[in-house]
Amino acid sequence: MSAEGGTKAIVAALSANLGIAVTKFGAFLLTSSSSMLAESIHSVADSGNQLLLLIGGKRSRRAATPEHPFGYGRERYIYAFIVSIVLFSLGGLFALYEAYHKWHDPHGIESWQWVPIAVLGVAICLEGYSFRTAIKESNRTRGTTSWVDYVRRAKAPELPVVLLEDFGALIGLVLALFGVGLTLLTGDGRWDAAGTAAIGLLLVAIAAILAIETKSLLLGEGANPETVRRIERAVLAGEGVERIIHMKTLHLGPEELLVAAKIAVPRSESAADVARHIDETEERIREAVPIARVIYIEPDIYQAEKAQEEASAATPAHA
């Protein structure tokens, strides 16, 4: 997933949400609709989240230091995890609080009754544009992967975050339209409260999904099975490598992969030949998988019993 594609989707979402937040809050001031207040806070939270993603992307590009020799690629995961917390606390919990308050103090929309419907209609169009941009950018790297697997397995967090936020925003707007519409038809403010509560539950669910997925990335994920197979083929394609004894991979960031492999070399080879074959193996790996930035190759003499012990102790590269 290219950082450029993620940035484009984030900027589109940020632009849409800033405009939507202002119009929703204006509608709340005119009508006192709790659904409009919940939706305005939702848009403010989304705008803040997109700023966090942009900050994380910028900070992740800092050069490695002695204190952080593998660089700062995981900053993008950290900021994506913060996004899930903001969405849960500022968006979901506030909406649930506002729904509780409105349910116990219901009142209909008595003035400017057309404003919420107009604002929600415009917001659906703007969110639809943002969602379309995120889908378009995601399709460039998604391939034939299903959307569920794409969100679960993507190593770059930005596009899955924007996709879930935009999807949740569209569903939330429909729920707000439902609550406001029934309140206008019946004069009963509890419909507005029900719509607000549904928005809150939706945001809490999306925040939980984001937290689970980004937590996995923070803990450290290996390369996907197809990437592992490409690395294995590259290792075994040259001279001087009899087999892979074991191998591990780890994403240092969305576009940075660490590869550590122990390979079996012929017993008769000189140290110079072994060093040359290791250099050639590293070149083949980088050619097959350009994001393999850090590679450690350890040569050894293959011994079946020892190899089995090491393999059982090693975590599979695709786990």
Q: Which DSSP category does 166 fall into?
A: H
Q: Could you identify the residue written with the tokens 């040359």?
A: 276
Burial of 173 (0-12, 13-18, 19+ CB in 10 A): buried
Contact (Cβ atoms closer than 8 angstroms) between residue 36 and residue 180: yes
Nearest by Cα to 1 from 222, 258, 291: 291
**Distance set, CA 140 to CA 1, 66, 217, 299 (Å):** 8, 36, 22, 38
**Distance set, CA 232 to CA 50, 292, 315 (Å):** 38, 13, 16
pLDDT band, very low/low/confident/very high, at 268 (cuts 50, 70, 90): confident
pLDDT score for 181: 85
Q: Please give the full DSSP string across 222-281, using - where no structure is assigned.
A: ---HHHHHHHHHHHHTSTT--EEEEEEEEEEETTEEEEEEEEE--TT--HHHHHHHHHHH
Which distant-in-sequence residues (6+ apart) come within 8 Å of 143 by Cβ? none
**3-class secondary-structure state, position 146:** coil
pLDDT in tens, 124-175: 888 888 888 888 888 887 877 888 888 888 888 888 888 888 888 888 888 8
pLDDT in tens, 282-317: 999 999 999 998 999 999 887 765 656 666 665 554
Cα–Cα dist 41/33, whole Å:
13
Neighbours of 86 (CB within 10 A): 17
Q: Which residue has the higher pLDDT, 229 or 122?
A: 229
Average pLDDT, the chain: 82
Neighbours of 28 (CB within 10 A): 21
**Distance set, CA 113 to CA 116, 117, 184, 194, 230 (Å):** 7, 8, 7, 18, 60
Q: What global pTM score does this model have? A: 0.71
User: Percent of the chain at pLDDT above 90?
Assistant: 16
Q: What angle do CA 221, 243, 284 make, to 5 degrees?
A: 65
For the residues 195-203, what does the mean pLDDT come to?
A: 86
N-to-C CA span, the chain? 21
pLDDT score for 244: 92
